[in-house]
């Protein structure tokens, strides 16, 4: 039997890190690169999603969790329909990110890493300054904790790495994941799911 070439499955690339670590910069550039290549990609930015999907939520632990679950729900739907989804959100709770991984399935976690002092120097949105002036509460890294990933697929150390290098790193991971997923689907089309390597069964299902 000759296998038909499989279309790439959907994938969620979840970028987590402190405010001003560089999540938006990387996500925007990766999204533009995917569009230039003619791929189906969507970018779910945490701030934009909060405005349109979670406008009634605040920044307490429970409200943050609900916001992440809503973003995860949208990402899951898009991923299921073959879209490469970029999520850029602080998402400080490790257990909640792991919950999104289990829920979505096809999932790559990107830790956009910059020390707090570097993020405060950048302070793109003025969040840290306002927090230090006691004009803002529940700021991750100051009032509220951030739990770094324990085993992310990608780490982008943006305090020592140029943005284009971080972007290239994420794109390379997407390409590698798609290639492995397509190859596993090709094997399944020819020989059935029992032919899949154990580590690729979830990808092909």
* Residues with catalytic roles: 91
CA neighbor of 17 nearest in space, from 164, 133, 159: 159
**Residues across the chain:** 205
Residue 16 backbone dihedrals phi, psi, to 5 degrees: -125, 150
Residue 60 contacts by C-beta under 8 Å, 6 or more apart in sequence?
Answer: 138
Rounded Cα distance between 4 and 24, Å, is: 37
Rounded Cα distance between 86 and 162, Å, is: 20
Q: Can you tell me whether residue 95 is helix, strand or coil?
A: helix
């Amino acid at each position: 039997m000759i296998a038909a070439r499989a279309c790439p499955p959907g994938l969620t690339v979840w970028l987590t890190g402190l405010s001003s670590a560089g999540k938006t910069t990387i996500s925007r550039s990766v999204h533009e690169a995917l569009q230039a290549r003619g791929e189906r990609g969507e970018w779910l930015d945490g701030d934009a999603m909060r405005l349109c999907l979670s406008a009634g939520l605040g920044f307490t632990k429970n409200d943050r969790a609900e916001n992440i679950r809503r973003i995860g729900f949208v990402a899951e739907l898009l991923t299921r329909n073959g879209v490469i989804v970029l999520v850029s959100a602080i998402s400080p709770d490790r257990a909640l990110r792991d919950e999104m991984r289990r829920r979505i399935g096809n999932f790559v976690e990107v830790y956009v890493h910059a020390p707090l002092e570097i993020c405060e120097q950048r302070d793109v949105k003025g969040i840290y300054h306002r927090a230090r002036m006691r004009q803002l509460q529940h700021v991750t890294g100051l009032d509220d904790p951030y739990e770094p990933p324990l085993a992310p697929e990608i780490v982008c150390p943006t305090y020592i790495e140029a943005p284009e290098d971080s972007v290239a790193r994420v794109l390379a991971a997407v390409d590698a994941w798609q290639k492995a997923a397509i190859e596993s689907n090709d094997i399944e089309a020819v020989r059935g799911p029992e032919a899949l390597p154990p580590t690729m069964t979830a990808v092909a299902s």
